[in-house]
Amino acid sequence: MTGNPRNPPPDEVLGLDDLSIAVHDGAATAVRDISLSVHAGEIVGLVGESGSGKTLTCRAALGVLPKGCQITGGSISFERQDVTGLSPRGWQRLHGSGIGAVFQDPSSYLNPSLTVGSQVAEVLRVKRKLARRAARATTLELFAAVGLRNPELVFHQIPAELSGGMLQRVMIAIAISCEPRLVIADEATTALDVTIQAEIIELLKELRDQRGLAVLFVSHDLAVIRELCDRVVVFYAGQVVESGSVEEIIERPRHPYTQALLRVASVGDYQRRELEVIAGQPPRVGAEIDGCRFAPRCPAALDACRSGSIELARLGPGHQARCVRAGDPELAGVIEAEMAVR
């Protein structure tokens, strides 16, 4: 599709088209030709190991790439407008109106000596130009919307007086304070207890349903993605190796890496089982590999996997995988047999 003008559907909120990102001042390519889209009222999950490029992709979509990283190809569009070369001022405007963000550790994003209410109200006064009183009222409404039970009390508390789950709710309140169409959440539930994590997952689904919010949710945990997302994009070593609806990916994974991820993921039946591992280590960030990037760790790799470039193949409606054996009915059996041996 490269070279052709894209024609995204009208409800596309975020579109990445063949996006590549270089790190170490252009010395290595960490993200290669990523294409994905997030639509209104949809939660898309990015899953992959650390170093797979998912956080970098997120930061590019937020316009906050770290120093030494740059976009070397492809484009980013927000509500069908190209924002790839947007100026820092332009991104700032977008952060205050169209895009919100939630990160892993809420306590490091809030000032420990100010009340949380004043910090949220400040965002509203700067970004939405609200008067003091209106900002306060809107903050209380937001606190209620994210399920904080006693908004008045929370308003006057400092971050240290709130639990991790309450702080993450405050961060989500800030993220949705400017009525964004898109929220990008990077490992937003990873640091939380399971009971709180379940509540935050429900909150994000509610916001999706009630506000038509689009969410890009990044996690290394396929089980969390399964609970929350509508569609999944699987990253491996800087590439998309598989994408599709959650049901498709969980029920009919076609890439060996996805199949392996599923075999090591948490299951809720609490039966004793052999704990399986994916043998080997992912390649170092930016490594140049001929052929499939997963082939060195893949129990089902053939000679054909080790040369040339392997393209994403369409396997069904909305389901794609980057594997020469993606259509092979014996693939899952090979993965199962090989992983059980180890």
Partner 1 sequence: MSAAATETSATPLLAVEAVDVVLGRGWRSSQVLSDVSLTIGPGEIVGLVGETGSGKTTLARTIVGLVKPRKGRVLVNGTETSGLRRGALRRQRRRGHVQLVFQDPLRSLDPDLTVGQIVGEGLAIRGGLTAAEIEARVTAALGQVGLDATLLSRTPGQISGGQRQRVSIARALATDPGLLLCDEPVSALDASNRNYILRLLGQLRDDLGLPIVIISHDLSSLAGIADRVLVLYRGRIVEDGPVSQVFSAPRHPYTALLMASAPSVRHDRPLDVHQLRRGPADPAPPSGPNACVFAARCPFAVAECAEQPALEPVGDRWAAACRRHDAWPALARARPAAATPA
At closest approach, how far in Å is the CB of 49 from partner 1? 5
Give dist(CA 325, CA 303) in Å, integer.
Answer: 11
Size of the site for partner 1 (CB under 8 A): 39
Asked if 102 and 188 touch (Cβ cutoff 8 Å), the reply is: yes
Give dist(CA 19, CA 35) in Å, integer.
Answer: 6
Among 44, 99, 171, 222, binds partner 1 (CB under 8 A): 222
At closest approach, how far in Å is the CB of 189 from partner 1? 9
By the rule CB under 8 A, 198 interacts with partner 1: yes
Among 66, 89, 273, 341, binds partner 1 (CB under 8 A): 273
At closest approach, how far in Å is the CB of 252 from partner 1? 13
By the rule CB under 8 A, 303 interacts with partner 1: no
* DSSP 8-state code for residue 176: H
Distance of CA 225 to the CA centre of its chain: 9
Asked if 255 and 323 touch (Cβ cutoff 8 Å), the reply is: yes
By the rule CB under 8 A, 341 interacts with partner 1: no
By the rule CB under 8 A, 319 interacts with partner 1: no
By the rule CB under 8 A, 261 interacts with partner 1: yes
Give dist(CA 137, CA 63) in Å, integer.
Answer: 30
Residues in the chain: 342
Nearest to partner 1 of 122, 199 (CB atom): 199
Among 262, 292, 300, 312, binds partner 1 (CB under 8 A): 262
Give dist(CA 35, CA 75) in Å, integer.
Answer: 9
DSSP letter string, 287-338: ---SS-TTGGG-TT--GGGGSS-PPPEEEETTEEE--TTTT-TTHHHHHHHH
List the interface residues with partner 1, window 146-165 (CB under 8 A). Answer: 163-164
Among 28, 220, 252, 328, binds partner 1 (CB under 8 A): 220
Among 72, 81, 210, 266, binds partner 1 (CB under 8 A): 266
By the rule CB under 8 A, 209 interacts with partner 1: no
Q: DSSP E strands: which ranges in 24-98?
A: 28-39, 43-47, 70-78, 81-82
Give dist(CA 191, CA 151) in Å, integer.
Answer: 23
Site map 50..89 versus partner 1, x via CB under 8 A: x---------------------------------------
Among 140, 215, 278, 312, binds partner 1 (CB under 8 A): 278
Nearest to partner 1 of 17, 187 (CB atom): 187
46 DSSP β-pair partners = 218, 233
Nearest to partner 1 of 18, 206 (CB atom): 206
Asked if 177 and 141 touch (Cβ cutoff 8 Å), the reply is: no
By the rule CB under 8 A, 277 interacts with partner 1: yes
At closest approach, how far in Å is the CB of 196 from partner 1? 8
CA nearest 285: which of 76, 69, 85, 75?
A: 69
Give dist(CA 154, CA 117) in Å, integer.
Answer: 7
By the rule CB under 8 A, 203 interacts with partner 1: no
At closest approach, how far in Å is the CB of 202 from partner 1? 8
Name the site residues for partner 1 (rule: CB under 8 A): 49-50, 163-164, 193-198, 201-202, 220-224, 226-227, 250, 260-262, 264-278, 281
